[in-house]
Amino acid sequence: MIRFAHVTKEYPRTGAALKDVSFRIAKGEFAFLTGPSGSGKSTILKLIFLEERPTAGEIRVAGMHAAKIRGKEIALLRRKLGIVFQDFRLLEDRTAEDNIAFALEVTGAPRDTIGTRVGRLLTQVGLASKGTSYPKQLSGGEQQRIAIARALVNDPFVLIADEPTGNLDDRATRGIFQLLGDINSSGTAVLMATHDLELVRRHEHRVIEMNRGQIVFDSTDPAPRAAQER
C-alpha cells in the first residue's frame, strides 16, 4: 500500500531530514511513528500525501510513484488518503456538517448523496447532534472528530494522522485513539505520528521509531539498520 525505498529528503536550508529510509505499511495495518522532535516524522507523512517530494529514493502509494505524479493525479491520490493534523484544520466559518460536506463538494460528489453521507459520518464519530455547531463551539476532541469524519468522506485506504492527539487532554486523547482503533478495525490502515509514548506502550500496534532522519527501531523488523547495511 505504502512503500518507501531508500528515501532521502533534503530541505533547501535545513539539509537532510530523512536519510535512506525504507519501510512498508501493509493493507489494514495500524502503525505508530515515534521519535524525538525534528526526527522526520512529519516529513515522512508529507511525502506520503505529496506535500513534499523526495530528494532521492522511491515512494509508492496505492501503486503510484509519488515522485513522478503531477497535477490532477495528485488530487486523485489524496482522495484515497485521509489526512488529520494536530491543529484540526477546520474552516471556522462553516458548521461541522459543512466542513465535512466541503470535502465531498470539492471532489465533485453528487449533491443529493452528500447529506446522507455526512450524517452517517457524524454518527460514526459520535457527534450526530453537533452537526450544526461551528468549530469554535466544539471542544478540541470534538473538532478532531469532525476532522476525522472529513478525512473519511472518500473511504480512504489509509488514515494518516500527524499527532492527532497533540492538542488534547488525556480523556479526549483516549476517545480519539479509540475512534482510530474502530476505524482500523473496519479495514482502514492507520499511520499515526505521535510523541505520546505512554499511548504507544499501552497498545500492541506496530511501532516505527525515528531518530535524526533514520528509522532506529521497527517492531516488525527488529534489526532495521543491519537490513539497511546489506
Partner 1 sequence: MRLTLREAVMSFARAPLLSALSIMMIAFSLYSFGLFGLVALNFRQRFGAVEERIEIEAFVDDSTNVETLANAVSEIARFPEVARALPVTKDEALERARRDMGEFKDVFDASFLPASIKVQVREGFRDPATVQRVADRIAAYAFVDDVRYGAEFVERLHDIRNVATGTGIVLGIAFAAVAIIIIAATIRITVLARAREISIMRLVGATNGFVRRPFLLEGLATGVLGGGLALLLLWLSFALIGRYIPLVFLERPMAIGGIAFGGMIGLLGSALSVWRHLRRI
Ligand X SMILES: Nc1ncnc2c1ncn2[C@@H]1O[C@H](COP(=O)(O)OP(=O)(O)OP(=O)(O)O)[C@@H](O)[C@H]1O
List, in order, residues 6 or more apart from 77 with CB less than 8 Å away.
49, 50, 61, 62, 64, 66, 69
CB of 174 to partner 1, least distance (A): 26
List, in order, residues 6 or more apart from 206 with CB less than 8 Å away.
29, 30, 31, 32, 218, 219, 220
Binder of Mg ion out of 9, 17, 23, 42 (CB under 5 A): 42
CB 1 within 8 Å of CB 27: yes
Binding-site string for Mg ion from residue 121 to residue 160, where x marks contact by CB under 5 A and - marks none: ----------------------------------------
CB 214 within 8 Å of CB 21: yes
Q: Characterize the bridge pairing of strands 56-61 and 2-11.
A: antiparallel
CA-nearest of 150, 142, 135 to 92 is: 135
CB of 84 to partner 1, least distance (A): 10
- Give 41 or 206: the residue with its C-beta nearer to ligand X: 41
- Give 11 or 223: the residue with its C-beta nearer to ligand X: 11
What does the binding site for partner 1 look like in residue numbers (CB under 8 A)?
49-53, 71-72, 74-79, 83, 89, 91-93, 102-103, 106-108, 134, 136-137, 150-151, 153-154
CB of 203 to Mg ion, least distance (A): 20
**Coil vs helix vs strand at 158:** strand
Residue 37 interacts, among Mg ion, partner 1, ligand X, none and using kind-specific CB cut-offs from 5 to 8 Å, with: ligand X
